[in-house]
Structure 1
């Protein structure tokens, strides 16, 4: 990787306005979305939907601590089925789509990207330190395009006036060019009406992917979104498409099956697939028979 590439790699930056009225997070997820497209063999529709979901999830995880994480699950009656994205505060992002090959018929009038998910639900899960179970909340999808659904969620469930922008650029060959997002949240002491102006400004902000293609970076976007309000940087970190799955974890999961379930699959090896990163792990017949013997021993 060249010095210039390293300088422009995927990262998240957090800031707060000098007047203390707004927090802002900006993330570049170009390589994250490219990796997801490649790993899951995504259609163009799903590249955009999952790309937006991965970007939005990382923006929401930026408010957490340490290895706390959030998960977004969009489920609908459209051809895509469901989109799942997960991110941790340390910058690990992963996700998948139920039907990665799904596409829309763009020859039909009034077809829109939200038709991919259709009518359905968004479930938000937050895993925090010292809490045995994740905190969950669910709302109906309002548009199915990810961006508007997240904006609606933050108003309805988080009750934090916010402005969010998510963008995935794709060239004529179907390849991801750049991707990223911006999240602005109003602090409790902010004057009424200011967030409304920012929301309107972001609606007309232009495409994030084009700004990245033009050589702007996350610092530039943070300044551009909040101008003329001055922003103080709080933190920055790299972000990556990263999954912690391992072959050992899958073998350990097999060992948790009942004796009868293990008996059913013991006559041949098993290929196990991680939903999140599409990694394939093969467990041989001999290994399954060993697990079966251990399960039988526990029964005696």
Structure 2
């Protein structure tokens, strides 16, 4: 019954394999990508997201979610993929919140870029890494760890599409810790040969992780699981506050037109600001003037 329930839930599973000195993050997400597609389906600016584009976003999202799971609180990863044909974004918090998009574009002069920003407590600015994008999520995330983190790391990302084009994501990231007793790269052949999606769907994530560490008796008590959800913290109040930076003449014009519909660039949520609300912003701006 638990396995059947887990097949329908988006979860990041994290554990430490202490006897080997490795830390692990894994994700199984049958819903997040499809929620993202639904959010952007009504967009008037972008074409509907096709299945292959959605699968690609899901793989990059999985990598970002696993990286952020190593963080704490509301620390987050903000990742961008920009190529001649795609513009993608993922923002993932360690608490399991994810938002973003993947849009088809035409930008023949663009340089293909994969950018990762780590937003951490106590840092005055995000830790930014900019790399040439390959368009392959596993390769790009592996390159990120190899060049930026400089910690031995293995990454595997997979997606599949069901008969109704729903996208399911799966991924695992393993890092060697400073006190490792066994080099992680000694496990590469076992890692590369492992069949992730099939095992996770048939037997569960714990069974797959156990197959990667056959010499260790992993149990569910070793694994911390965090639900993952496509969620954006935008709201109407935040959009109204941004209107205070709009020139009064423009606000008056919008009020005369009966109001304005504002859309979130991260999740496509729409908020209609009425003429009376715009007039109140105008009044408040006037009262705030010295």
TM-score above 0.5, yes or no: yes
Does structure 1 conserve the Cα–Cα contact (< 8 Å) formed by 2:75 and 2:93? yes
Question: d(CA) in 1 for partners of 2:181 and 2:187?
Answer: 12
Question: d(CA) in 2 for partners of 1:211 and 1:273?
Answer: 40
Aligned: 1:92 with 2:84: no
Aligned: 1:255 with 2:244: yes
Does structure 2 conserve the Cα–Cα contact (< 8 Å) formed by 1:274 and 1:280? yes
What stretches of structure 2 of length at least 5 have no aligned partner? 42-48
Question: d(CA) in 2 for partners of 1:263 and 1:46?
Answer: 41
Partner of 1:11: 11
Partner of 2:199: 211
Aligned: 1:285 with 2:275: yes
Partner of 1:190: 180
Question: d(CA) in 1 for partners of 2:279 and 2:138?
Answer: 48
1:125 aligned to 110, 117, 120, which one?
A: 117
1:173–1:144 CA distance, 2 compared to 1 (3 A):
same
The CA deviation string for residues 6-31 of structure 1, in whole angstroms up to 9 with x for no partner, is 44422222112242421111111111
Does structure 2 conserve the Cα–Cα contact (< 8 Å) formed by 1:28 and 1:180? yes
Partner of 1:112: none
Question: d(CA) in 1 for partners of 2:273 and 2:264?
Answer: 13
Question: d(CA) in 2 for partners of 1:296 and 1:98?
Answer: 40
Does structure 2 conserve the Cα–Cα contact (< 8 Å) formed by 1:49 and 1:83? no
Partner of 1:110: none
In the TM superposition, 1:143-222 aligns within 5 A as 143-176=134-167, 178-190=168-180, 194-208=183-197, 210-214=198-202, 216-222=203-209
Partner of 2:231: 242
What stretches of structure 1 of length at least 5 have no aligned partner? 104-117
Partner of 1:113: none
TM-score normalized by the length of structure 2: 0.85
Partner of 2:262: 272
Compute the displacement of 1:263 (Å): 4.6
RMSD: 2.6
Question: What is the number of residues matched between the two proteins?
Answer: 277
Question: d(CA) in 2 for partners of 1:152 and 1:294?
Answer: 50
